[in-house]
């Protein structure tokens, strides 16, 4: 599972290095509490430090320190990028999983060395504990996402879903979409959305399925096979979002494949 998380972190820092923020015009999160302008000045160094930490993590060297370094770098980079006037959620899951893994490793080491009464929170090994904590965090994020949709729309998310497609079409016309996506890809999405707009019932059915996937994510904790099914359903959700909303969320899919689908299980 280290390999999958490493790929997600490297993808995140590489994309942030390619499209760095130009300023801190609308601070969010930690940037509201302290100045994050130092992150802009140290951008390339934070990216390089994250890469070094990922290599150490992959090699199993100084794992707690590597995870701490990855957590600090990713959180700082993502926070600064989201404080440039447009909050993007595409990298948040990576930041959460890395931070949770660091916490899990700290708890496991504290329990194994000093027996501090945290035995109920750890499992057999450091890596197994980190993976189990990560799985719980991932399903919690998806469940929270689904619940937030219902709360913010007062239960009308499915009814309002055709409007989401309309907003997707508007987003495709923005300068950012023009810069970051190929014209042919945008045209395919526009054509697909245009075909769906006259059929709101189909749109509502698709969005209802996506919402159900998110709300049912916690039942994956009941067993490995159920977790596999939830993982496959969430991958399908992201593929739908990629085709309809031009939201690929590559790192989310890598994280889900790594921890929920758990591809290595098929070679046991």
pLDDT tens, position by position, 102-146 = 999 999 999 998 888 888 889 889 999 999 999 999 999 999 999
pLDDT digits (tens, 9 = 90+) for 52-88: 999 999 999 999 999 999 999 999 999 999 898 777 6
Same domain, residue pair 55 and 108: yes
Q: Could you tell me which of 201, 207, 89, 200 has the C-alpha nearest to residue 146?
A: 207
Higher local confidence (pLDDT), 177 or 182: 182
* Inside any domain, residue 135: no
Give the DSSP per-residue string, 39-64.
Answer: HHHTHHHHHHHHHHHHHHHHHTSSHH
Same domain, residue pair 167 and 102: no
* Inside any domain, residue 207: yes
Same domain, residue pair 14 and 113: yes
Same domain, residue pair 160 and 250: yes
pLDDT digits (tens, 9 = 90+) for 187-235: 777 778 778 888 889 989 999 999 999 999 999 999 999 999 999 999 9
CB-based burial label for 225 (10 Å; 0-12, 13-18, 19+):
exposed
The number of distinct structural domains making up the chain is 2
Predicted model pTM: 0.90
Last residue of a domain, one of 122, 152, 172: 122
Return the HEC string of 180-241: HCCHHHHHHHHHHHHHHCCCHHHHHHHHHHHHHHHHCHHHHHHCHHHHHHHHHHHHHHHHHH
* Inside any domain, residue 212: yes
Higher local confidence (pLDDT), 174 or 91: 91
Same domain, residue pair 267 and 148: yes
Query: 243: pLDDT confidence band, cut at 50, 70 and 90?
Result: confident
Instruction: Please report the pLDDT score of residue 177 as a whole number.
Output: 47
Tell me which DSSP letter residue 146 carries.
H
Same domain, residue pair 8 and 102: yes
* Inside any domain, residue 133: no
The mean per-residue pLDDT over the stretch 137-166 comes to 92
Q: Which long-range contacts (CB under 8 A, 24 or more apart) does 35-39 make?
A: 36/76, 36/79, 36/80, 36/83, 39/76, 39/77, 39/79, 39/80
Instruction: Please report the pLDDT score of residue 86 as a whole number.
Output: 72
* Inside any domain, residue 216: yes
Same domain, residue pair 207 and 113: no
The mean per-residue pLDDT over the stretch 133-161 comes to 94
Same domain, residue pair 193 and 242: yes
Same domain, residue pair 103 and 212: no
How far CA 141 is from CA of 42, 135, 222, in Å, comes to: 30, 10, 17
Distance between alpha carbon 255 and the CA centroid of its chain, in Å?
7
Instruction: Please report the pLDDT score of residue 117 as a whole number.
Output: 85
Same domain, residue pair 148 and 262: yes
Could you give the CA distance from residue 84 to residue 26 in angstroms, rounded to a whole number? 6
Could you give the CA distance from residue 265 to residue 81 in angstroms, rounded to a whole number? 35
Instruction: Please report the pLDDT score of residue 239 as a whole number.
Output: 92
* Inside any domain, residue 98: yes
Last residue of a domain, one of 61, 94, 122: 122
Distance between alpha carbon 98 and the CA centroid of its chain, in Å?
11
* Inside any domain, residue 128: no
Q: Dihedral of CA 123/127/130/132: which sign?
A: negative
Residue 175 pLDDT > 60: no
Same domain, residue pair 3 and 112: yes
Residue 2 pLDDT > 90: no
First to last CA, the chain: 14
Among 21-25, 177-181, 220-224, 243-247, where is mean pLDDT lowest?
Answer: 177-181
* Inside any domain, residue 131: no
Instruction: Please report the pLDDT score of residue 162 as a whole number.
Output: 87
Could you give the CA distance from residue 230 to residue 133 in angstroms, rounded to a whole number? 17
Tell me which DSSP letter residue 119 carries.
G
The residue segments making up the domain with residue 31 are 1-122
Instruction: Please report the pLDDT score of residue 176 as a whole number.
Output: 46
Same domain, residue pair 35 and 146: no
């Amino acid at each position: 599972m280290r390999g999958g998380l490493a790929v997600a972190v490297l993808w995140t820092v590489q994309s942030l290095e390619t499209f760095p923020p130009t300023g801190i015009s609308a601070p969010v999160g930690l940037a509201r509490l302290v100045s994050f302008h130092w992150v802009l000045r140290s951008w390339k160094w934070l990216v390089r430090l994250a890469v070094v930490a990922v290599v150490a993590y992959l090699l199993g060297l100084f794992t707690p320190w590597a995870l701490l370094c990855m957590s600090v770098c990713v959180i700082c980079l993502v926070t600064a990028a989201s404080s440039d006037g447009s909050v993007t959620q595409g990298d948040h899951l990576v930041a959460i999983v890395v931070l949770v893994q660091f916490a899990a490793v700290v708890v496991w080491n504290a329990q194994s060395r000093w027996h501090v009464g945290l035995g109920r929170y750890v499992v057999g090994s450091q890596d197994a504990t980190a993976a189990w904590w990560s799985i719980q965090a991932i399903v919690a994020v998806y469940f929270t996402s689904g619940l937030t949709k219902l709360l913010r729309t007062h239960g009308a998310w499915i009814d309002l879903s055709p409007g989401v497609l309309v907003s997707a079409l508007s987003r495709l016309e923005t300068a950012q979409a023009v810069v970051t996506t190929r014209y042919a890809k945008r045209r395919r999405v526009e054509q697909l959305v245009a075909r769906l707009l006259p059929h709101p019932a189909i749109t509502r059915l698709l969005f209802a399925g996506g919402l159900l996937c998110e709300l049912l994510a916690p039942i994956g904790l009941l067993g490995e096979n159920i977790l596999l099914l939830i993982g496959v359903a969430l991958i399908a959700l992201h593929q739908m979002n990629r085709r309809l909303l031009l939201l690929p969320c590559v790192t989310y899919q890598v994280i889900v494949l790594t921890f929920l689908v758990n591809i290595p299980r098929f070679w046991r």
